[in-house]
């Protein structure tokens, strides 16, 4: 992707006035897809204790239906036995029953309400214990992809990413994990952290659940990481629950959550991460690139301002209420099948 002369002049002007860390919204270099090519995505989730994971996977399928994304695999960082089946339920509803599903064999395992509804919907993966090891599946899939072509979007803790970095050469690749990531991954999108800083007393959930993994991945990842901590005030799910057909499992999961907490909508952290992973900054976001993230093993994170690094984090351009409408439109879109 090239940057035109006028763009370069504009970038130089912005740097003079000290705004170079804030990207030019809509500039082509920040877009992940164009009309001719789908973005290759691996979706990695801790689906189990929140419902925005289900919503995030749903809108990824809709963007795949539209030709904007190609889903290579769906991975659970959560090794609870109900999590991979919950992923399979959603993949099956959206017409992709045979999408590869991997599961962590080392990560945390909390689960609350997916098990209440998984058995009500078609699927054939009945336990996460029967899913292949996520790291082995990552290596198999990444090795077969063109160089620098894959975007991994992690909407849970970073366990699978840490285990992938630690992986050894195998039947799929002569590269170790770090080399394989460097060769094949275009960008890691991590829904995690509080930005710009997260005090220890209120570290963000996805980092604190596996603080050692967050610390390692943020320190050692050999490529770009986009951190997305946005979504708390992007409330979605109410239209989905009201309008979706009973065959759709995603509103069933949302309904379980809503009834438990006596609410009618939910924050959209994971859906924001997927929206960015597929569409890039688009008209929705800007990014802060002047600095670097450091995360401690307690799950706290700090942004050190300075020269641009391989770390960036996302900030709003579009108001949260408008983003919520964009996302809810995806959620109520029927599958193309
Ligand atoms: Ca999540």
CATH number at residue 113: 3.90.245.10
Taking the centre of ligand 1 as the mean of its atom positions, its distance from the CA of residue 210, in whole angstroms, is 13
What mean pLDDT do residues 72-91 have? Answer: 97
pLDDT of 35 reads 53
Question: Is there a contact between 304 and 291 (Cβ–Cβ < 8 Å)?
Answer: yes
pLDDT of 37 reads 87
Q: Which two tokens stand for residue 191?
A: 């829904």
Cα 83–chain centre separation = 16
Number of domains the chain is built from: 1
Cα 324–chain centre separation = 17
Taking the centre of ligand 1 as the mean of its atom positions, its distance from the CA of residue 274, in whole angstroms, is 11
Residue 296's contacts (CB-CB under 8 Å, 6 or more residues apart) are 200, 211, 215
Q: Is 8 inside a domain boundary?
A: no
User: Rounded to 5, what percent of the chain is helix, strand, coil?
Assistant: 40, 20, 40
Q: Is 22 inside a domain boundary?
A: no
Other residues' Cβ atoms within 10 Å of the Cβ of residue 222: 15
This prediction's pTM: 0.90
Taking the centre of ligand 1 as the mean of its atom positions, its distance from the CA of residue 34, in whole angstroms, is 27
Q: Is 258 inside a domain boundary?
A: yes
Backbone dihedral angles phi then psi of residue 40, each to the nearest 5 degrees: -80, 120
Q: Is 316 inside a domain boundary?
A: yes
Q: Is 227 inside a domain boundary?
A: yes
Taking the centre of ligand 1 as the mean of its atom positions, its distance from the CA of residue 46, in whole angstroms, is 5
Please state, rounded to an integer, the average pLDDT across all residues of the chain: 90
pLDDT exceeds cutoff 90 at 166: yes
Instruction: Identify the band that residue 200 occupies on the pLDDT scale cut at 50, 70 and 90.
Output: low
Instruction: Identify the band that residue 199 occupies on the pLDDT scale cut at 50, 70 and 90.
Output: low
Mapped onto helix, strand or coil, the DSSP state of residue 161 is: helix
Residue 238's contacts (CB-CB under 8 Å, 6 or more residues apart) are 264, 265, 328
Q: Is 145 inside a domain boundary?
A: yes
Dist CA 263 CA 180 (whole Å):
43
Q: Is 197 inside a domain boundary?
A: yes
Dist CA 337 CA 129 (whole Å):
28
pLDDT of 201 reads 61
Taking the centre of ligand 1 as the mean of its atom positions, its distance from the CA of residue 209, in whole angstroms, is 11
Question: Is there a contact between 142 and 152 (Cβ–Cβ < 8 Å)?
Answer: no
Lowest mean pLDDT among 192-196, 212-216, 252-256: 192-196
Taking the centre of ligand 1 as the mean of its atom positions, its distance from the CA of residue 182, in whole angstroms, is 25
Instruction: Identify the band that residue 29 occupies on the pLDDT scale cut at 50, 70 and 90.
Output: very low
pLDDT exceeds cutoff 90 at 142: yes
Q: Which position has the higher pLDDT, 16 or 158?
A: 158
Taking the centre of ligand 1 as the mean of its atom positions, its distance from the CA of residue 15, in whole angstroms, is 36
> Residue 131 belongs to what domain range?
31-331
pLDDT of 337 reads 75
H-state helical runs in the chain: 5-16, 52-65, 83-93, 134-143, 159-165, 177-184, 205-209, 211-220, 238-243, 249-261, 269-279, 320-331
Q: Is 2 inside a domain boundary?
A: no
pLDDT of 4 reads 34
Of 249, 247, 229, 269, the closest CA to residue 82 belongs to 249
pLDDT of 1 reads 32
Lowest mean pLDDT among 128-132, 193-197, 220-224, 263-267: 193-197
Dist CA 147 CA 286 (whole Å):
26
């Amino acid at each position: 992707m090239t940057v035109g002369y006028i763009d370069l002049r504009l970038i130089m002007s912005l740097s003079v006035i000290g705004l170079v860390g804030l990207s030019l919204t809509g500039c082509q270099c920040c877009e992940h897809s164009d009309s001719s090519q789908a973005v290759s995505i691996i979706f990695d989730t801790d689906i189990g204790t929140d419902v925005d994971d289900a919503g995030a996977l749903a809108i990824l399928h809709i963007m795949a239906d539209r030709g904007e994304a190609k889903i290579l695999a769906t991975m659970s960082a959560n090794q609870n036995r109900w999590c991979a089946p919950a992923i399979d339920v959603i993949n099956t509803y959206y017409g992709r029953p045979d999408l590869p599903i991997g599961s962590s064999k080392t990560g945390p395992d909390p689960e609350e309400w997916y098990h209440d509804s998984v058995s009500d919907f078609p699927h054939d993966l009945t336990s996460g214990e029967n899913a292949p090891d996520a790291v082995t599946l990552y290596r198999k899939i990444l090795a077969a992809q063109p160089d620098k072509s894959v975007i991994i979007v992690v909407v849970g803790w970073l366990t699978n990413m840490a285990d992938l970095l630690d992986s050894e050469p195998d039947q799929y690749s002569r590269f170790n994990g770090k080399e394989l990531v460097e060769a094949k991954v275009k960008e890691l999108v991590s829904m995690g952290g509080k930005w710009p800083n997260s005090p220890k007393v209120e570290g963000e959930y996805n980092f604190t659940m596996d603080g050692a993994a967050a610390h390692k991945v943020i320190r050692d990842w050999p490529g770009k990481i986009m951190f997305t901590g946005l979504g708390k005030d992007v409330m979605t799910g109410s239209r989905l629950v009201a309008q979706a057909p009973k065959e759709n499992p995603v509103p069933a999961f949302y309904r379980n959550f809503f009834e438990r907490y006596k609410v009618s909508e939910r924050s959209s952290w994971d859906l924001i991460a997927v929206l960015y992973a597929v569409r890039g900054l688009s008209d929705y976001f800007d990014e802060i690139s002047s600095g670097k993230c450091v995360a401690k093993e307690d799950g706290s994170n700090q942004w050190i301002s300075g020269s641009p690094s391989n770390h960036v984090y996302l900030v709003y351009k579009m108001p949260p209420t408008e983003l919520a409408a964009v996302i809810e439109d995806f959620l109520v879109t029927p599958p193309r099948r």
